[in-house]
Amino acid sequence: QVQLVESGGGVVQPGRSLSLSCEASGFRFSTYMHWVRQSPGKGLEWVAVTSYDGSDKYYADSVKGRFTISRDKSKDKLHLQLNSLRVEDTGIYYCARVSIATGGRFFDYWGQGILVTVSA
């Protein structure tokens, strides 16, 4: 079955860096993959996307220039490098798989989420 498992979260001081990973299994890792985050008690915020070969990447304005999305095709892993972290980057980070269906594209599978806390 499809599984997405995030790792790498933790507590970090403002201005420091953190690296998140998402290990995929149960499907061909040839789809666009995304990161979405959710601040404590708040709504969902789309963060970044990468194509299968990494040639197509987009970022939310709030993280552009600080976060980098990448993928290791040989290991079926998605990564998110978080640099220059801010308090407002605190939240649960989810990796999510996109399904392209007739009439739409949507997240059909999500990881369980990993908590990133940015605090002095």
The footprint of other proteins (CB under 8 A) covers 34, 43-46, 49, 58-61, 94, 96, 99, 101-108, 110-113
Shortest approach of other proteins to residue 74 CB, angstroms? 26
Q: How far apart are CA 25 and CA 41, in angstroms?
A: 29
Shortest approach of other proteins to residue 58 CB, angstroms? 4
In the bound state with other proteins, the residue whose beta carbon lies nearer, of 16 and 106, is 106
* Helix ranges, the chain (H): none
Q: How far apart are CA 83 and CA 117, in angstroms?
A: 13
In the bound state with other proteins, the residue whose beta carbon lies nearer, of 16 and 105, is 105
Choose among 23, 98, 93, 101: nearest CA to 60: 93
CA 95 to each of CA 13, 14, 71, 120: distance values in angstroms, whole numbers, following the listed order: 23, 23, 12, 26
In the bound state with other proteins, the residue whose beta carbon lies nearer, of 103 and 120, is 103
Q: How far apart are CA 92 and CA 49, in angstroms?
A: 17
Shortest approach of other proteins to residue 50 CB, angstroms? 12
In the bound state with other proteins, the residue whose beta carbon lies nearer, of 49 and 118, is 49
Shortest approach of other proteins to residue 66 CB, angstroms? 15
